Amino acid sequence: MTAEATEEDETPAPAPGRTRLSAAAVTRFWRISPLMTATWVVLTVIGPLLPVAMTMASGRLVDALVGDTGLTDALVLMGVLTLLGPVVDGIRWRAADLLGHRFRADQRQRVMAAFLDRAGIEHAADPAVQDAAAAADNNWLRTLPEGLMNLVGLRISGYGAAILVAWYEPVGAVALTLAWMVGGRWKWRRTSADAAANLGQVPELRRSAATADLATSPAAAKEIRLFGLGDWLGARFAREWHEAMAEIWRLRSGGAAPAAGVVVLLVAAHVLVLARVAGAAADGRLGLGALAVVLQAVLASRGIGGVGYGHQEIEYGLQAVPALERLEAMLAGAPDLPGAGAPPELRTAIRVEGVRFRYPLTERDVLAGVDLEIPAGTSTAIVGDNGAGKSTLVSLLARLHDPTAGRITVDGTDLATVDPSAWQQSVAAVSQHALRLPLSARENVAGGRPATDDVLDRAALDAGATDVVGTFADGWDTPLSREFTGGSELSGGQWQRLALARALTGLEAGAQMLVLDEPTAHLDVRAEAELYDHFLRLTRGRTTILVSHRFSTVRRADRIVVLEDGRVAEQGSHAELVALGGRYAAMFAMQASRFAEEVAP
């Protein structure tokens, strides 16, 4: 028994509903794999009975040795039980291990589904949602079936052993049983306190884990070393982790009185039962066989308290069951983007009418009354300084958010009435931070859509990514990460080319609008201008939107919209805006002069 304890007034009661949560977990085991669960349940009950049978058989063997009768039968019985034990244990632990892996996978799938079933994206940046997800997806889930099996096994073997003791020494058996029940209760309360404290520190532990992940991240490896951030990261992790663990350690370092009391109680119970057994053996009331049974049973009775590593596996693992329910309820109860109508066919124009938008928990409108018309089949460039609201406007056009006020219509149909997920599939986009999947090149470009090599080759050619694909050792099936065998590592510019190819496959799959949202952060000035020019030539006759804070790179767009302070400041063709002599003309002249300097031979 461990001598750790907390002060009684600081130790919370055992987690409420643990039995209910255990039953809920077993119900989910059954849903995930009925055969595996049935095997696990049956062997969880049978397995612990074998040690009890072994204890009884050992007493019979001792009597046979002393009396020189029935020795063969006793040896055969011991041999059968000895051989059967490892077989049953091997199967039940294997079943628990497989069930644990499947349970963890099922839990992770439900966490993913809770995130992905929503059309909007605001929840993905909500710290409360992230904390709930971290609590719902913990490593203890994998060992939960083993923990439950361990607990049930200890209880069955413990009470079985107590019954054997009671057969020969009833008074001692009662004292021993009560002592272990008190000890087990204390241990449960102790472990419950640990689990509750850990759950309460999820945000802090998540921050320290993010810091630790930086140290092993390939993306951060170069700058960590160039800027000498190694020691700083190590110290920061240590500080964050110690701050997160302070409350847990405070609970663990409580007074030793409860622990001492439990130890005294257990020692007294064992002294009592052993003294009475020794007396019975001394006066001949217990034979050698019975004495062998009782002594083994006294030791095995510790299982009554359920004392073992399974405490942690159960307490920590079961915390994830209600955490998942909270996450699902949190996301199901939060408002999502409405609408169920089919996406309209874009033939005439997209109209932005008096649109305002403010991100949750902020006090400033990013868009403060935007009125705009985007004719179908034309290219529209949205330019402006950083923070002008360009990417936010694109997110609204793609219906990743809905306007705080105003509306957006497509050929007269309010987007708020359209199925948001269906409309999102109508938009093919390349963003500044385009998705980089550590998967094959095929999956990076085709995504979840089936695509032949011919389709991918054509998209790569149109995106100017043919030279990139030509470096792949296994063609389109090459993993795009050196963390995997045979993988390739791409530069930022190469990733952007593949992202453009992905957008073009989306266009071929039926997307109605193409968006380039400042994808040129990893390109030099010349390459940036070439990419925009190439994109405009490639998509002529398509509804295309270009987003940039560089005025000089989008001059060939059919129409240019200048955003400033969340409003449309100017709009027109490049020639019209230059002639206007306003904001665009001034910024274009200034940036064009820098552009000329940068591209000069």
Q: Which of the two residues, 291 and 528, has the higher pLDDT score?
A: 291
My answer on whether 544 and 491 are in the same domain is no
Residue 465: CB atoms within 10 A of its CB come to: 27
pLDDT > 80? residue 349: yes
Same domain, yes or no: 422 and 439: no
- 353 and 482 share one domain: no
pLDDT of residue 484: 78
Read off the pLDDT of each residue in 468-485 and give the average, rounded to a whole number: 82
Question: What pLDDT is stored for residue 416 in this prediction?
Answer: 92
Mean pLDDT computed over every residue of the chain: 81
The 10s digit of each residue's pLDDT in 358-391 is 988 788 899 999 999 999 999 999 998 888 889 8
Domain tally, the chain? 3
In a domain, 3, yes or no: no
- 553 contacts 520 by C-beta, under 8 angstroms: yes
| Residue 142 or residue 227, greater confidence | 142
Q: Which residue segment(s) compose the domain that 526 sits in?
A: 337-426+512-601
- Residue 5: inside a domain: no
pLDDT of res. 18? 62
Mean pLDDT of the region 96-120: 87
Query: Is a pLDDT exceeding 60 seen at residue 556?
Result: yes
Tell me what pLDDT residue 193 has. Answer: 65
Average pLDDT of the residues in 571-583: 91
- Final residue in a domain of this structure, among 333, 354, 369: 333
Judgement on whether residues 230 and 359 belong to the same structural domain of the protein: no
| Per-residue pLDDT band at 522 (split at 50, 70, 90) | low
345 lies in the same domain as 400: yes
The answer to the question of residue 415 being in a domain is yes
Q: Please indicate, yes or no, whether residues 114 and 30 belong to a single structural domain of this protein.
A: yes
The gap between the terminal CA atoms of the chain, to the nearest Å, is 79
What pLDDT, on a 0 to 100 scale, did the predictor assign at position 203?
A: 66
For the chain, the maximum distance between any two Cα atoms, rounded to a whole number of angstroms, is 118
What is the reported pLDDT for 247?
64
State mean pLDDT over 96-103. 88
Q: Are 139 and 291 in contact (CB under 8 A)?
A: no
DSSP letter assigned to residue 23 = H
- Does residue 174 fall inside a structural domain? yes
pLDDT given at position 8: 35
- Mean pLDDT for the stretch of residues 172-182: 86
Whether residue 468 is contained in a domain is answered as: yes
**415 DSSP assignment:** G
- How far from the centroid of its chain's Cα atoms is residue 485's Cα? 25
pLDDT score at 397? 93
Residues 139 and 64 reside in one and the same domain: yes
Specify if 357 maps to a domain.
yes
Whether the CB-CB separation of 588 and 578 falls below 8 Å is answered with yes
Residue 256: pLDDT band (50, 70, 90) is low
Whether residue 146 is found in the same domain as residue 190? yes
User: Could you tell me what percent of the chain has a pLDDT over 90?
Assistant: 13
601 pLDDT more than 70: no
DSSP conformation letters of 140-198: GGGGHHHHHHHHHHHHHHHHHHHHHHHHH-HHHHHHHHHHHHHHHHHHHHHHHHHHHHH
Judge whether residue 3 has pLDDT over 60: no
Given 478, 496, 511, the domain boundary residue is: 511
Q: Is there a single domain that holds both residue 368 and residue 323?
A: no
Q: Which domain CATH number covers 576?
A: 3.40.50.300
Are 106 and 213 members of one domain? yes
pLDDT at 1 over 80: no
Q: How far apart are CA 395 and CA 404, in angstroms?
A: 13
| CATH code for the domain in which residue 101 is found | 1.20.1560.10
Residue 371's pLDDT is what? 94
pLDDT value for 16:
41
**Which residue has better confidence, 175 or 68?**
175
Task: Give the closest residue to 334 by CA, choosing from 543, 171, 84, 117.
Answer: 117
| pLDDT score of 596 more than 60 | no
User: Which of the pair, 55 or 390, is modelled with greater confidence?
Assistant: 390
pLDDT exceeds cutoff 60 at 434: yes
Flag whether pLDDT at 5 surpasses 60: no
Residue 339, pLDDT > 80, answer yes
Q: Is the pLDDT of residue 10 over 70?
A: no
Task: Single out the residue in 333, 364, 385 at which a domain terminates.
Answer: 333
Q: Are residues 442 and 303 in the same domain?
A: no
CA distance 429 to 423: 13
Rg over alpha carbons for the chain, rounded to the nearest Å, is 34
Mention every residue, 6+ apart, whose C-beta is less than 8 A from residue 321.
Answer: 21, 24, 25
If asked whether residues 56 and 135 sit together in one domain, one would say yes
